């Protein structure tokens, strides 16, 4: 890991155009829990909500003719762990992360989930430091190219979207997702999520390296379960 000649504040200003006033807050956003002490999980939680809102707002503005289902699908693509990790990697997050010795040795600073979490945490820090307008000013340039791609290339529907649309078409309740277990070492966890629908006995579980991925797997399994019981046309 390199790039430590500049402070985190200088680095953030150079990469994202925002000069954080609270250096300690930014340091926390860049600290993985493996490093011990104050880490970025709470900021990640906040940043996830800020990100989801701002991306939804951006899509609502940029795609005035898109349906609710299309907007949901676009948002899922833009806030996916893979998308966030790509953005964080391109910004050089791996050079600024603070991790424990074991996590460093295992290459944790290159792990997509760690990079994605750190980007969300930094967005949470920017929101606390400068408000929603500051977070919006940072986020929109990051997604400019990805928005252009959405306008030219249709996205396939993910499992959660397919399940939701299937249930809406039949006036059934929307699904809810519950984390059943989290196993494994902190740097290599497996999430198991249950997908269920109020008033229906059918449920399905899915597992993955992140909560989002496990939810997708559970949704796919439940969608298959419903389709298997559909009467032949």
The set of catalytic residues is 48, 120
Going from the C-alpha of 201 to that of each of 68, 221, 233, the distances in angstroms are 28, 14, 24
The vertex-101 CA angle with 111 and 80, nearest 5°, equals: 20
Q: 17-55 b/e with 16+ CB inside 10 Å = b? A: ebebeeeebbbbbbbbbbbeeebbeebbebbbebbeebb
d(CA 76, CA 114): 19
Taking the CA atoms of 208, 214, 216 and 220 in sequence, report the sign of the dihedral they define: positive
Residues 6+ apart with CB under 8 A from 54: 132, 135, 136, 139, 140
Structure token pair of residue 136: 């919006």
Residue 131, phi then psi, degrees to nearest 5: 90, 180
Phi-psi region of 98 (alpha: psi -120 to 50; beta: other; left: phi over 0): beta
């Amino acid at each position: 890991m390199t790039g430590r000649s500049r402070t985190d504040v200088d680095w953030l200003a150079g990469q994202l155009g925002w000069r954080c006033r609270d250096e300690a807050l930014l340091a926390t956003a860049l600290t993985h829990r493996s490093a011990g002490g104050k880490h970025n999980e709470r900021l990640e939680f906040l940043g996830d909500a800020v990100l989801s809102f701002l991306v939804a707002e951006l899509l609502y503005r940029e795609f005035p003719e898109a349906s609710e289902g299309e907007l949901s699908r676009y948002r899922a693509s833009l806030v996916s762990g893979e998308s966030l990790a790509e953005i964080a990697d391109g910004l050089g997050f791996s050079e600024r992360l603070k991790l424990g010795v074991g996590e460093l040795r295992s290459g944790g600073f290159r792990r997509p989930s760690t990079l994605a979490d750190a980007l969300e945490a930094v967005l949470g820090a920017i929101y606390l430091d400068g408000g929603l307008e500051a977070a919006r000013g940072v986020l929109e340039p990051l997604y400019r190219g990805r928005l252009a791609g959405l306008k030219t290339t249709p996205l396939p529907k993910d499992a959660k979207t397919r399940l939701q649309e299937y249930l809406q078409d039949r006036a059934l309740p929307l699904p809810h997702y519950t984390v059943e277990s989290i196993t494994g070492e902190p740097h290599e966890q497996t999430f198991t999520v249950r997908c269920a629908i109020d008033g229906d006995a059918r449920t399905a579980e899915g597992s993955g390296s992140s909560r989002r991925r496990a939810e997708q797997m559970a949704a796919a399994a439940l969608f298959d379960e419903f389709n298997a019981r559909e009467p032949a046309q």
